[in-house]
Amino acid sequence: MDRQPVHVCFLLRVLWCVMVEAQDWHVDLPAEISALSGSCLFIPCSFTHPSSHEPSDATWYSYSSTKYPVVYSKDPTAIIEPFRGRTKLIGDVKSGNCSLNINYVVPEMNGYHLYPWIDPDKVDHKFYLNTIMLNVQEMPGAVDLYVEGEPKEDDTLRVICAVKHTCPFSPPTLSFGDTSGNVQTNQTDLGQGSWQTISIISFPGQVSDQGRPVGCWVRRQGRPTVPKWVEINLSYSPQSVHVSGETSTALVGGEVTLECRSNANPPASSFLWYLQRDGSIRELSAREMSVTVPDLPPDQSRFYCGAQNAHGVANSTSPFIVTVEYPPTIQPESCCIIQAPSLRCWCKVRAWPSASVEWRVNSGDPHSTLRDVRTVRVKLNHTFSGKLLFNGTFQITAVTCRAFNVHGEQEHSLVMKALPLDVTIVQHPTHVREGQYVTLSCMCRAFPAVLSYSWYQVQGDREVELGEQSERLHLVAVGRLMGPYRCSAMNEVGWTSSTSALVHVDFAPVISPDSFCALENGEVKYSPVGKGSLIAAVACGAVGVVLGTVSLLYCLQRTRYFEKFD
C-alpha cells in the first residue's frame, strides 16, 4: 500500500525528466551574419541544456556532411584555416553563453556555416542542425549621416552619424572633425549579431551654418578612415536684403530694372518695394522679386525692398540710388541786373550732371570793358548759377547764356533788369492857387515794374515818411510854401529816389518890405528881396517914372520859390 504513491511519483518524474530532456538542448544563434572583411565579428550564442547536464566547455565546428572541422577549440592546433588564431569563445558556457568572437574576418571565411557543440565528448545532441552562415563583405555598410528634423534658425541642430557593425568589443569610432558641439555616443544592440554605433553632435543653429558641410569620420578596424558629409539645411527668415540693379544712372523718362536679393531659406517668395524721393517714402505696387520702374523722374530715386518667406520679413537697410540725368534747363528767373557801373547776370541752370555755362555779350560799345567774368556754382536743387560782373562804362544790348552737359544744351537770352530810372515828381494840375487840391505823381521808367512807392516830406529840419505807398500823393488845401516833397520807387532790383520838389502854388503878389529901387547908370534896378531865394519876377503892366516908393507901383507879380533840399 505504501509503494503505490512511490511508483506514481517515479513515473511522473521520469515523464518530467523526458520532457525536460527533449526541450533543454536548444541553441539560439542567428541564421546568417554579415561581417566586413578585416573587421571583427561577434557571434551571439546562447543555449539551454538539460538540468542533468552541467555544461563546462564548447567547441565550434564548420558544418560538413562528412567531417567535423574545428573552428574553435581549446586546442589551437585542431583549428582549421582560415579560423586558426582568430577565434575565441567569449561566452560563459556554464551560464549558457556560447558566444564566439572572430577577431579578424578574412574573405576566405565567406560561406562557412558554423555551429557550437557543448561538451562534444559528453553530449550526444545534433547541434549541427542549427548553424550560422558567414557572409563576408568587402565594402563597409553605409554610414547613416543626417540632420535631425527640419531645423530653424536658433534651434539646436542635431547631426546624427550612425554605423552598423559586428564588433561590440572594438566598435568603430565616430568623430565630427572640426565641428564643435556637444557629442554623445551610444552603442545599440540591434539583435541577431548586429550593432549600431550612434554619435550625435548638437550645437545652436546659426544662419551662417546654412549649407555648411558636416563630416563624420568613421574609423573601423582595419579600414582607412573616410569622412562622409552632410550639408546643413537650416530654414531662416530673409537676411542681407538688398536691392541690386544693372545700372545706377538713367536718363530722365527712362526705366530701370531692379532685383530684391536676399539670403533666405526657403527663398523669399513675396517682396515689397519702396521708393524714397525728396525725403518721403512710398510703397510701390510691385510684389515681384524683379521690378521695372518706368518714367524715371529727374534727380535721385532711392529704392528699398522687403523680402518675405514663411519665417519672416526683412527690409533692405541701405537704398539703391538711381541717379536720373537730364539735359540743362535754364530757369526763367535767370536775368541780368544793371546797377551802374556794373552788371550782374545770373544763369540758373537745372542739369544733371552739372552743366557748363557760357556767356555771349552783345555790346554796342566796342570799348566797354568786361572786367570780371565768373562762374559761380550753387549746388542747390541741382541748380547752377553763372555770374557775370562788368565794370566801367558799358552799353550792353543783350546777354545770352548757353548751358550744356552730355545730354544736351539750352540757350537763353537773359532779361535785363534795372533800378527804376528817371524818378521825378509831376504836379497836377500844374497851377493851383492856395487852398486848392493838388496831386503829386511819382513818375519813372522801370523794368521790372515798380512794386511800391514811398513819399517823404521835409518838416522842420528832418524828413518824415508819409503813409502813402501808391504812385499818387493827394494834397488838400495847399499852402504857399508846402514841401519840399520827395518820392522813391521800388522794384525787385531796388529803389531810386526823386529830387525834392516844392508844390507850385500861385498866389497874389506880396511885395517884400525890403524891396527898393535904385538908379544905376540911368537904369532902374529893382530888387525884390526875399530871404535870398525868393525871386519876384515882375511883369509891370505900366512902368511908371520911378518917383516916390516902390509900393506905389501897380504890378502883377509871379513868384517862384526855388530851393534845393538835397
Ligand X SMILES: *[C@@H]1O[C@H](CO)[C@@H](O)[C@H](O)[C@H]1NC(C)=O
Contacts with ligand X, residue ranges (CB under 6 A): 46, 90-91, 97, 99, 184, 186, 198, 274, 281, 306, 313-315, 350, 371, 381, 391-392
Q: How far is the CB of 316 from ligand X (least distance, A)?
A: 9
Q: How far is the CB of 303 from ligand X (least distance, A)?
A: 12
Beta-carbon count within 10 A of 466 CB: 13
**Dist CA 103 CA 350 (whole Å):** 91
Q: What is the 3-state secondary structure (H, E, C) of 142-171?
A: CCEEEECCCCECCCEEEEEEEEEECCCCCC
Q: How far is the CB of 61 from ligand X (least distance, A)?
A: 19
Judged by CB, which is closer to ligand X: 264, or 478? 264
Judged by CB, which is closer to ligand X: 52, or 381? 381
Q: How far is the CB of 383 from ligand X (least distance, A)?
A: 7
Q: How far is the CB of 366 from ligand X (least distance, A)?
A: 18
What stretch of H or E contains 336? strand 335-339
Q: How far is the CB of 386 from ligand X (least distance, A)?
A: 17
**Dist CA 359 CA 361 (whole Å):** 6
Judged by CB, which is closer to ligand X: 299, or 463? 299
Go through the chain and tell me how many residues it has. 566
Give 501's strand partners: 485
**Dist CA 363 CA 371 (whole Å):** 14
**Set of cell numbers at residue 98:** 556560447
The C-alpha cell 569622412 sits at 227
**3-state class (DSSP) for residue 19:** helix
Q: What is the 3-state secondary structure (H, E, C) of 362-424?
A: EECCCCCCCCEEECCCCCECCEEEEEEECCCCCCEEEEEEEEEECCEEEEEECEEEECCEEEE
Q: How far is the CB of 90 from ligand X (least distance, A)?
A: 5
- Contact between 275 and 281 under an 8 Å Cβ cutoff? The reply is yes
Q: How far is the CB of 44 from ligand X (least distance, A)?
A: 6
Strands 462-465 and 236-245 come out as: unpaired
Judged by CB, which is closer to ligand X: 93, or 414? 93
**Set of cell numbers at residue 511:** 511885395
- Contact between 388 and 334 under an 8 Å Cβ cutoff? The reply is no
Judged by CB, which is closer to ligand X: 380, or 519? 380
Judged by CB, which is closer to ligand X: 171, or 484? 171
Judged by CB, which is closer to ligand X: 239, or 441? 239
**Dist CA 446 CA 422 (whole Å):** 9
Judged by CB, which is closer to ligand X: 418, or 450? 418
Judged by CB, which is closer to ligand X: 37, or 99? 99
Q: How far is the CB of 98 from ligand X (least distance, A)?
A: 8
Judged by CB, which is closer to ligand X: 313, or 321? 313
Judged by CB, which is closer to ligand X: 73, or 99? 99
**Dist CA 62 CA 68 (whole Å):** 7
Judged by CB, which is closer to ligand X: 126, or 379? 379
**Dist CA 395 CA 135 (whole Å):** 117
The C-alpha cell 536548444 sits at 26
Q: How far is the CB of 380 from ligand X (least distance, A)?
A: 7
What stretch of H or E contains 20? helix 4-24
Q: How far is the CB of 260 from ligand X (least distance, A)?
A: 12
**Dist CA 338 CA 238 (whole Å):** 63
Q: What is the CA radius of gyration of the chain?
A: 62
Q: How far is the CB of 48 from ligand X (least distance, A)?
A: 11
Q: 348: closest CA among 304, 399, 414? A: 414
Q: Could you tell me which residues come within 8 angstroms of residue 358 by beta carbon, excluding any fewer than 6 positions away?
A: 401, 402, 403, 404
Q: How far is the CB of 91 from ligand X (least distance, A)?
A: 4
- Contact between 176 and 161 under an 8 Å Cβ cutoff? The reply is yes
**Set of cell numbers at residue 279:** 525725403
Judged by CB, which is closer to ligand X: 88, or 445? 88
Q: What angle do CA 228, 232, 235 make, to 5 degrees?
A: 165
**Set of cell numbers at residue 180:** 564643435
Beta-carbon count within 10 A of 358 CB: 15
